[in-house]
Amino acid sequence: MKFFIDTANIEEIKELASTGLVDGVTTNPSIIAKSGRNFLEVIAEICAIVPGPVSAEVAANDFAGMKAEGDHLSKIAKNVTIKLPMTWDGLKACRYFSEKGIQTNVTLCFSAAQALLAAKAGASFVSPFVGRLDDIGQDGLNLIEEICLVYSQYDFDTEVLVASVRHPIHVVESAKMGAHVATLPVSVMKQLIQHPLTDKGLAQFNQDWAQSGQKIL
C-alpha cells in the first residue's frame, strides 16, 4: 500500500518525506486556505519536495472551468495530479485529462457505482471517503471492500485511494482488502508506529543496558 499525506503544511511534508515513507500528497483549497498562503505557490513547493503524485484540486464546478484550471495546474510540475469532483462535469474533465496523459484523482466518492464511473472515465485514482460515511452511521470500510471487489473483476488502471482516514484501523483494514493507497492526516501517519508493547520493550531494553555499564562507542 502506498501512503499519501493529506496536508498542505510544508514543514510537516518535509519531516515525513525525509523518512522515505511518503509516496504522495493530497491537498484541497480548504486545507491551503487555512494556511493563508497562495495556492499555486504551495502546490509548487510540495511538488519540489515529494516526487510522487501531488493532488491539486480545481475550484470550478463546470467542465470548461475545470478544463482551464486543470490545464493551468498541470503546468506547475510533472507530478501534479488534477483532483476533480465526482460529478458529470468532473468525469468529463477526468476523461479529458486522462487522454492527455495527465493524472487525475476523482474525489468525494461515496458509492461503488461512482467508483465504477470514475474508472470508466480513466481516473488515475478514486477517493472514497471512509470517515465521512462512518460519521453518518454507514460502514465506510464496506465501501472500500465493494470497490476493490468491483475493480478486481476488470482491467482498470484506477487505484483505490482511501480518504477521510480517521485512525490506523482504517488503514490496516483497507490494506487487507487490497486498496492501493491511503491518504493520511499527519496525526494518523504517526499513530501507525505506536504500540504500548513496543514502548514497554524499549524501556526495558534501555534499563537493562544502563545497568550493564557497557557502551558501544
Q: In the numeric block, which cell numbers belong to residue 49?
A: 519536495
Q: For the chain, where are the alpha helices, taking DSSP H only? A: 10-17, 29-35, 39-49, 63-74, 88-99, 112-120, 130-135, 140-152, 168-177, 186-191, 196-212
Whether 43 contacts 10, CB under 8 Å = no
Residue tagged active-site, from 14, 75, 83, 176: 83
Adjacent-strand bridge partners of 161: 181
**Residues 6+ away with beta carbon under 8 Å from 183:** 3, 4, 5, 6, 24, 26, 127, 161, 162, 163, 165
Residue 78 CA to residue 37 CA, distance in Å, equals: 22
Known catalytic residue: 83? Answer: yes
Q: Which of 137, 147, 130 is nearest to 183 (CA)?
A: 130
Other residues' Cβ atoms within 10 Å of the Cβ of residue 153: 7
Which residue type does 147 have? I
Residues with catalytic annotation? 83
